[in-house]
Amino acid sequence: MSVLVGKKAPSFSAKAVVGENIIENFSLDQYLGKKYVVFFFYPKDFTFVCPTELHRFQEEIAEFELRDVAVVGCSTDSEFSHWAWLNTPKNQAGIQGVTYPLVADINKTIATQYDVLAGEYIADENGDLDVEGEMVAYRGLFLIDKEGVVRHQVVNDMPLGRSIREALRVVDALQHFEQNGEVCPMDWQKGDSAMQPNHKGISDYLSE
């Protein structure tokens, strides 16, 4: 699993669905210099755990917007599958009412770039290709700053739903650091005391 923290988020252009509209060339580059991005992957449309997460992100969308954060979802389903799911009522296991973009990664290239693709192609001794695992995304989440740099990532296995409150907490911690220059200890919450960073290098400690 690649660690993307501290690196530029992989760039892509893909189809996405926003509300009733299919966007032909959607890219996270549109947010550079303007917004933070919480970019998350989920395994499949029309499943069980996934809609609980997508609805929770929608329930908290105002909190993300208050923090100047764009929320963007992605799976290896097509834009037509996204569109159909978005037009299915919640009481029928749909995600009607979700307003943030859902990216279609049907070629699996974006999941591969972010290294969250569960399956992989394996060539046998004859050069024939087979698939090992299921070619869908794990539950990856990436917090990208306004400069396009990944500052936080977490990847869950498919049965394990993630915490949207934790995603908000990490956004708060990053913004507190950027605004105040203070680092945030374990379980830090917005409004808690933070700490001045220690700028000593390891050589300073070894010489003491």
Torsion from C-alpha of 52, 141, 147, 76, nearest 10 degrees = -80
Cβ atoms < 10 Å from Cβ of 85? 24
In angstroms, rounded to a whole number, what is the distance separating the alpha carbons of residues 72 and 28? 9
Q: How many CA atoms lie within 13 A of 6 on its CB side?
A: 2
Q: Count Cβ atoms below 10 Å from residue 72 Cβ, excluding itself.
A: 21
Whole-Å CA distances, 39 to 123, 201, 206: 31, 33, 40
Q: Which of 16, 50, 54, 104 is catalytic?
A: 50
**Catalytic-residue membership of 184:** no
Copy the structure tokens of residue 101: 């973009």
Cα-based torsion angle of the residue sequence 56, 57, 62, 63 in order, rounded to the nearest 10 degrees: 90
176 Cβ contact list (under 8 Å, min separation 6)? 182, 184, 188, 190, 194
Burial class (CB in 10 A: 0-12, 13-18, 19+), 116: buried
Catalytic (active-site) positions: 50
